[in-house]
Structure 1
Amino acid sequence: MPTTMQAAPHTLTETPRDAATVIVLRDSSEGLQTLLLRRHAKMANMGGVYVFPGGKLERSDSDASATALLDQPPAQLQAQLGEAGLDAAMAAGLHIAALREALEECGLLLAEPHGREARLDAERARAMLDEGQGFAQVVAQLGLRLATRQLAPWSRWITPMAPALATRRFDTRFFVAQAPQAQQARHDDHETTDSLWIAPRQALQRYRDGAIELAPPQIMSLAQLARHASVASAMAAARAQRPPTILPESFEENGVRVICYPGDPMHPVHQRAMDGPTRLAQQGRRFLPPQGFDALFL
């Protein structure tokens, strides 16, 4: 029977909103682990899905009061992201958004003492946010400096016009960071209802078996992380590359929805952006490589 392909209809025309995500990593006796948070089941966007901590860029992330707390100049952060047309202020704001979301969503404070009165107190910092204080205000009041050197740009994902799970479009910069050893990550019981430290391959196995829900960017990011045995390996790989930009395309093949990535014959960008399969096919509620689960790691 001949194969029939057709492009999926473009259902969303809104401009993607800038966002930042932090892939928090740690070493364990089982090897590399990453932190996943389960979004509240009643959330309009990806309810019940396990995600990395993150959220949309806020105007305050680019305020002078926030950029004054950086450990690196905005121009350096701009160079690290390597995006044409991205100005230094926006680059700084995206890094600050990543650090803010790490504190808001999982209680991790990626900062360093700066001055005699400095207090690196993640629990107090999160409580101050809950009391209504702004992120920059909290960091300044505790005498800290934002540790952007602990972040390494990993990838850039732009929600496609016909998204797989989301109801809104985002232009999200993914960063990797090592979890501070003296701090304990925990979900906020508001936007997120569960937190899970897990090896990347194990997370994908649980997704395959229906135990957890994941979105395609998390699937592909976990597949990339599964290639690393330690935090040091993943961080070194991130710092050695220019973060790839990934705008998925979707189409139907013999009635099956397929999402493809740069390097796939059906994608307009011919150069690969990442290792592994160049497409995922919808199988019931799951998106998996047409060649089978193990193709995620080839």
Structure 2
Amino acid sequence: MTDIPIRDAATIILIRHTTDGPMVLMGQRGSAAVFMPNKFVFPGGALDPSDRADLSHATELPDTVRERLNKHSDPELAVPLARAAIRELFEETGQALGQPGAHAGDIPADWQAFYDLGLAPHLAGLEFVFRAITPMGQPRRFDARFFIADAADLASDPDDFSSACDELSHLHWVSLPQARKLELPFITEVVLAEIDSRLENGPRPVPFFSHKGDRSHFRVL
């Protein structure tokens, strides 16, 4: 079996609190996608070199979030992973988790449109809630960190997806019970259950699923 390299990645679950209960933002991957075709997923993707750039933030990553991200991980990745979550959200949905701010130096091309809005990333709006490594046998493997954020912190119209790229279609807000009826990857089903528990019971340790050979391992961060 070919040894597929594992890439660091970040996923973001936006939660919108409504009178009908909490809703999450999801979209559908294309049928031609190499990884998880046709599945409904949260916005997210691989860590990009631009996420490691020296960029200004409107707010900083909370110490508690950074500490949990650092467990069983390179501590230099914490802030870049948080940035990646915000960048992927912006690229795939047009939604901007930012606050008024600017950057004095050079801005990587992948971030230019975000800063052109007069915004800088709102890292304090992120909570780290889940981590999972794709098992062997998949065409691509990721070490994905899942973050949640409150849609109330968006600097954009939560119903406007006109600036989204074409990576995800059928972008829409969906209740957690409705989300479970969609065609989901297994790990997304697990994350939805984790989000539901957190909304019901409050903060809890961060689950971490990893794999070695044909065995799966579970720990908490």
Shared fold per TM-score greater than 0.5: yes
Provide the rounded CA distance (Å) in 2 between the counterparts of 1:74 and 1:152: 9
Match of 2:175 in 1: 199
Match of 2:186 in 1: 216
Relative distance call for 1:37 and 1:71 in structure 2 (3 A) is same
Which structure carries more strand by proportion?
A: 2
Provide the rounded CA distance (Å) in 1 between the counterparts of 2:63 and 2:155: 29
Letter in 1 for 2:197: R
Provide the rounded CA distance (Å) in 2 between the counterparts of 1:84 and 1:267: 16
Cα displacement (A) at 1:162: 2.9
SS at match of 2:33: coil
Provide the rounded CA distance (Å) in 2 between the counterparts of 1:140 and 1:241: 34
Match of 1:150 in 2: 125
Letter in 2 for 1:145: A
Match of 1:87 in 2: 75
SS at match of 2:81: helix
SS at match of 1:78: helix
Which shifted more, 34-43 or 183-192?
183-192
Provide the rounded CA distance (Å) in 2 between the counterparts of 1:84 and 1:72: 22
Is 1:78 aligned to 2:78, yes or no? no
The equivalences for 1:26-45 within 5 A come to 26-45=16-35
Cα displacement (A) at 1:222: 1.3
Could you tell me whether the CA contact under 8 Å between 1:201 and 1:226 is conserved in 2? no
Relative distance call for 1:244 and 1:12 in structure 2 (3 A) is farther
Give the TM-score normalised by structure 1: 0.62
Q: Deviations over 1:111-142 (max 9, x none)?
A: 11137xxxxxxxxxxxxxxxx9431x334444
Over the residues paired in the alignment, what is the CA RMSD in angstroms?
3.0
Q: Deviations over 1:235-279 (max 9, x none)?
A: x83xx444221125897xxxxxxxxxxxxxx7555x6x59xxxxx
Provide the rounded CA distance (Å) in 1 between the counterparts of 2:148 and 2:211: 21
Provide the rounded CA distance (Å) in 2 between the counterparts of 1:36 and 1:85: 28
Give the TM-score normalised by structure 2: 0.82
Match of 2:83 in 1: 96
Relative distance call for 1:12 and 1:161 in structure 2 (3 A) is farther
- For structure 2, the 5+ residue unaligned runs are 103-107
Q: Which has the larger radius of gyration?
A: 1
Relative distance call for 1:103 and 1:181 in structure 2 (3 A) is closer
Provide the rounded CA distance (Å) in 2 between the counterparts of 1:250 and 1:217: 18
Could you tell me whether the CA contact under 8 Å between 1:159 and 1:170 is conserved in 2? yes
Provide the rounded CA distance (Å) in 1 between the counterparts of 2:205 and 2:131: 10
